[in-house]
């Protein structure tokens, strides 16, 4: 059962990151500017926090569709990195 958005078990930071990600799905320069404005974090820090949020069981319970989609994207990117062939310049 999904938790109510005001559930005290879910931290404000988790809630804010999920709400932001719901609004700004994907990656763009405008999103990076919004990250700085909304959180005061660099985009790298935001994505570190987002990865922590994606692993949070409370976040999954709160918004299983969004968190599931974010997990799929993360796994897809990790798989591409694992299977990427080294460039000729790296040889």
**Residue spans per domain, the chain:** 11-81
CA 54 to chain centre: 6
Pick from 18, 32, 29, 35: which is nearest to 69 by CA?
Answer: 18
Q: Is the pLDDT of residue 3 over 50?
A: no
pLDDT tier for residue 2 given thresholds of 50, 70 and 90: very low
pLDDT tier for residue 18 given thresholds of 50, 70 and 90: very high
The predicted model scores a pTM of: 0.77
Least confident of 14-18, 33-37, 87-91: 87-91
Pick from 74, 61, 41: which is nearest to 17 by CA?
Answer: 41
Residue matched to tokens 């926090």: 49
């Amino acid at each position: 059962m999904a938790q109510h958005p005001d559930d005290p078990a879910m931290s404000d930071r988790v809630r804010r990151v999920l709400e932001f990600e719901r609004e700004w799905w994907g990656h763009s320069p405008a999103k990076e500017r919004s990250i700085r404005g909304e959180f005061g974090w660099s985009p790298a820090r935001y994505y570190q926090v987002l990865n922590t949020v994606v692993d949070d069981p409370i976040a999954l319970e709160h918004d299983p569709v969004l968190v599931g989609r974010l997990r799929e994207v993360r796994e897809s990117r990790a798989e591409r990195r694992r299977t990427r062939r080294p460039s000729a310049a790296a040889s």
